[in-house]
Amino acid sequence: MSLNLTIDLFNNVLRFTHCMLHPPGALTANAFTGTYGVNYGRIADNLPPPESVVTLLKAAKIKNTRIYDADHSVLTAFANSGIEIIVGLGNEFLKDIAANGERAVDWIKENIEPFVPKTRIVGIAVGNEILGSTGGQDLWEALVPAVKNMYLALERLQLANSIQLSSPHSEAVFATSFPPSSGAFREEIMPYMRPLLQFFSQVGSPFYINAYPFLAYISDPTHIDVNYALFKKNPGIFDTKTRLHYDNMFMAQIDAAYAALEKVGYTKMEVIVSETGWASKGDPNEVGATLKNARTYNYNLKKLLYKKKGTPYKPHTPIKAYIFALFNENLKPGPTSERNFGLFKPD
């Protein structure tokens, strides 16, 4: 069963405008100047064709999206739509591109150049959750060289001023995240995280985090108030170090990322949520994976993002997030929840 939100829910979605990358050391404009995006995952055999998805996104006034590859049928369908898109460089390409800069040039020539500017490709996500639970040591070592080679390739092809690089992380990169002020990266990933942050700081890229109160809640439903996870009325938590109060877990997760960044010297790097959402169906042990909770989470999150509100720790920096996901994906492996994060039904 999928989350059947109406198009009216999205009528006030803010525009995600073009980003501008500058040479290392220079200041850069924000990559995501709206506040609301949607992930367009496609691990399914019952989804509408990309042309129909463009029609849906335009009708719903959703003007920014992410995909997890560089599928040519999708990029062709998005041409002249005005929808801005971040494409993904799959984890399987990282080692090859890290070892050979020409491979990065070839990948961009094949997957980016033929489609711009008609298709508004504004970013490339280099890998997904590499330094968390997804990547092993070989991918950890490949990430930074791959990112640098991709950037050099964009510069060589004169695309670095319009396409920004990123690399989304899972919550598994943190050793601690509660209370928010205790946020800190795991020591074993720091030899790889530190140079990645240094490079992204130089070229003006933000820190992308996949933040899921849903996953935190189902891991410990006894001790976590579901209302705290769903943006509903609750006592909240108090961070004694910062003396800040949190009435929802989503903001606490973002501020934990800011705390971790500050501890390693990146006080000005913006945190953007690359994925967040709530499953509408799950296995018996996935407490809280219901249609009602999914509707509540996504609706309340959308309202929050529309207000352009900051977190308790960063009140003047509007929260920006991509919702996961546009559709249920019936071929995804794993627990039932993995296949039931969709905002819309396939029809």
What is the set of active-site residues? 129, 275
Q: For the stretch 245-274, what's the b/e string if a residue is b when 16 or more beta carbons lie within 10 angstroms of its beta carbon?
A: ebbbbbbbbbbbbbbbbbeeebeebbbbbb
Task: Give Cα 129 distance to the centre of its chain.
Answer: 10
The HSE-up count of residue 245 (CA atoms within 13 Å, CB side) is: 4
Among residues 150, 169, 170, 168, the alpha carbon closest in space to that of 160 is found at 150
Looking at the chain, the number of H-run helices and the number of E-run strands are: 10, 12
First to last CA, the chain: 13
3-state secondary structure of 261: helix
DSSP label at residue 327: B
| C-alpha pair distances (Å), 178 with each of 3, 58, 245, 290 | 30, 39, 13, 26
CA pseudo-torsion sign 128, 60, 35, 202: positive
Among residues 280, 288, 293, 256, the alpha carbon closest in space to that of 328 is found at 280
State the residue for tokens 């791959």: 146
